[in-house]
């Protein structure tokens, strides 16, 4: 869990503050441009600090936040999958499906069906 990594390591205060800000829907949906604006440092420095402390790129961090939020939306809302991908600013439905399957092991539609079945059980 990224929040635990941040607390366990000697991370700069600004990185903790940035990650907390990026966990807000309006920020992770806005993506890397928003992160760069909130970070107030160069993209190169941002990438270096993310790799050192979180062992991932800023883009991977943002995509994880987006995919986790998408999973919640799939399980708890009737919103169409295409609309969820669009609302979270994925550049393509294909990319959304690829990242979702990598994170959850199933397609978004299968994830939704699985959670619908659990609610009715």
pLDDT in tens, 7-64: 556 788 899 999 999 999 999 999 999 999 999 889 999 999 999 988 999 999 999 9
pLDDT value of residue 12:
87
Each residue's pLDDT tens digit, 92-116: 999 999 999 999 999 999 999 998 8
- With 0-12 / 13-18 / 19 or more C-beta atoms within 10 angstroms meaning exposed / middle / buried, residue 47 is middle
Alpha-carbon separation of residue 92 from 10, 12, 74, 81, 98 (angstroms): 36, 34, 17, 12, 10
What pTM value is reported for the model?
0.87
């Amino acid at each position: 869990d990224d929040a635990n990594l941040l607390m366990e390591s000697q991370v700069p205060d600004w990185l903790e503050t940035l990650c907390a800000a990026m966990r807000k829907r309006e920020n992770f949906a806005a993506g890397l441009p928003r992160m760069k604006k909130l970070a107030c440092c160069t993209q190169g420095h941002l990438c270096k600090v993310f790799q050192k402390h979180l062992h991932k790129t800023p883009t991977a961090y943002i995509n994880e936040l987006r995919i986790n939020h998408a999973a919640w939306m799939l399980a708890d809302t009737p919103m169409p999958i295409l609309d969820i991908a669009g609302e979270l600013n994925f550049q393509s439905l294909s990319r959304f499906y690829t990242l979702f399957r990598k994170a959850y092991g199933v397609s978004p539609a299968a994830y939704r069906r699985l959670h619908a079945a659990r609610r009715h059980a």
